[in-house]
């Protein structure tokens, strides 16, 4: 149970960091500060999408792990 809780905490923190990083990158895309090359825009958009997909995947894993933890706790009662 302790390992499941630690995994849940780690996955949650990492997903939150990825969400924050994608927000910062999105803000950098929206603020006009000179000419940006098309390659820069595509790389930033790709990174944002990748970070969001990984973050939501981690949140999905957290949901599954919480369900598993609830089952383990119920069996111990």
State how far the Cα of 75 lies from the Cα of 62, in Å rounded to an integer.
Answer: 20
| Digit-coded pLDDT (tens) for 13-72 | 999 999 999 999 999 888 877 777 889 889 999 999 999 999 999 999 999 999 999 999
Dihedral angle of Cα 8, 9, 13, 19, to the nearest 10 degrees: 30
pTM, two decimals, is 0.86
Quick one: which of 8, 23, 20, 4 has its CA closest to 60?
8
Domains in the chain: boundaries: 2-76
| Digit-coded pLDDT (tens) for 34-46 | 777 889 889 999 9
What single-letter DSSP state applies at residue 45?
H
């Amino acid at each position: 149970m302790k390992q499941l809780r630690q995994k849940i905490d780690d996955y949650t923190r990492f997903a939150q960091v990825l969400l924050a990083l994608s927000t910062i990158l999105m803000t950098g895309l929206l603020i006009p500060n000179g000419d940006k090359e098309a390659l820069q825009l595509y790389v930033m958009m790709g990174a944002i999408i990748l970070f969001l997909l990984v973050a939501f995947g981690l949140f999905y894993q957290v949901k599954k792990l919480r369900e598993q933890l609830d089952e383990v706790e119920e069996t111990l009662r």
